[in-house]
Amino acid sequence: MAVIYLDHAATTPLDPRVREAMLPWLGERFGNPSSRHPFGVAAAEALDQARAELARAFAVRTSEVVFTSGATEANNLAVLGQARAARRFGNRVLIGATEHPSVREPAALLAREGFVVETLALDSDGVLDLAELARRLGPDVVLVAQMLVSNEFGTLHPLRELARTLRTRAPHAKLHVDAVQAVGKVDCALAELGCDSLALSAHKLHGPQGIGALIVVGKELEPVQVGGGQERGRRSGTENVAGAVGLAAAVRLAEAERERTLAATRAAREAFLARLPELPGARVLAPKKRFVDAILALVVPGAPAEVVMHHLERRGVYVSAGAACQSKKDAQSPSLAAIGLAPDEARHVLRISFARTTKRADAEFAAQALVEVLRELAAVSA
Ligand code: PMP
């Protein structure tokens, strides 16, 4: 049976070109970049090259790239590190309504340390409400964290407009952007977004799991992980050289193949939307105007999304019932509540996510499978 994987928002298959770039660093080239002998020097050079590649992609200096173990760590470092370093200016932290737990949880830690953490509102389209944001900003706000693309709905938030308002109304605030689902789909140059820091993760870009980066301008960042002082003291621990090489290759390819990604994901989304009239009661969740094509969240009434997901599996089609990081928890995703979904409706959210490797024919097959599964399930319950 053919396997059609449509859960790219959870993780993506490794691009063979990325694997190729990494292989020497999983084999004969194994130095510690901090060692002074030729093995170490070679590793340090590979790390420098990877850093330069990322600096180019995000239009920053090489000193502004911090390798981390992924976006969870990058988000933790950005949220905790920047808020703690700015304590003298104020104690308010604002976070987006649909942030990933790797932003929400460090913000909750900050609340326990005495910061006042507030959640930003969404407008009726499920997009960050800029007017409400403007009302909340003030000189005592030290950090705003807002994702660029939602991992649950594909919503594209207006970061540039956010940045503009923030600079005039909250002069001490740092702006952190979780760009995990955006890199390779929208322009993520830091100046373009107007942010101070940005988190990314290789495994969402056909790179390896367990490596990511925090791009951070400015020096006001309290480290979270301390030790040997690597990454200019901002993230101690021997660097993952093979991972960094893989991340750089993945970002380079994501940028070079952005048009391919956009075309492939648009075609795939269209294949699903064309069949929507055959899915009784189904609707696209959240974004009406601003979204990326790669992530499609559907409310499918009739059967719980988990049941639909397993029926699709039997036909070789792999999707997700909500976001992977939420699916092991019983609690409803706060993001679903934020966009106004009742808990019983939230159980019916199916997330289908595409990538540059998705073929139109595969999306058509998967859409057909979904039509059939929902028909079958409706027949059983009738
Ligand atoms: N932010 C978003 C928006 C994500 O989708 C994810 C991955 N689910 C993360 C952060 C965490 O990334 P990582 O898996 O690299 O820790």
How does pLDDT run across 95-124, given as a tens digit for each residue?
A: 999 999 999 999 999 999 999 999 999 998
Which domains are seen in the chain, by residue range?
A: 4-12+257-381 (3.90.1150.10), 16-256 (3.40.640.10)
Compute the mean pLDDT over every residue in the chain, rounded to the nearest whole number.
95
How many angstroms separate the alpha carbon of residue 381 from the centre of ligand 1?
Answer: 37
Quick one: pLDDT at residue 343?
86
Which of the residues are catalytic? 325
Q: What is the pLDDT of residue 255?
A: 97
CA of 77 to the centre of ligand 1 (A): 14
Q: Which residue has the higher pLDDT, 285 or 160?
A: 160
Q: Give the pLDDT confidence score for residue 379 in this predicted structure.
A: 87
Least confident of 86-100, 191-205, 273-287, 358-372: 273-287
Q: Does the beta carbon of 321 lie inside 6 Å of ligand 1?
A: no
Chain Cα centroid distance, residue 34: 30
Question: What is the pTM (predicted TM-score) of this model?
Answer: 0.96
- pLDDT of res. 328: 53
Calculate mean pLDDT across residues 130-146.
97
Q: Residue 161 to residues 76, 156, 298, 312, 338: CA-CA distances in angstroms?
A: 24, 12, 28, 40, 21
154 CB within 6 A, ligand 1: no
pLDDT at 161 over 80: yes
Summarize pLDDT for 191-238 with one digit per residue, the tens. 999 999 999 999 999 999 999 999 999 889 999 999 999 999 999 999
Instruction: Report pLDDT for 218.
Output: 85
Ligand 1 centre to CA of 157 (Å) is 17
pLDDT of residue 327: 52
The number of CA neighbours under 13 Å toward the Cβ of 324 is 12
User: Which whole number is the average pLDDT over 146-175?
Assistant: 97
Decide whether any atom of ligand 1 lies within 6 Å of the 100 Cβ: yes
Ligand 1 contact via 353 beta carbon (within 6 Å): no
Q: What is the pLDDT of residues 17-28, one digit of tens each?
A: 999 999 999 999
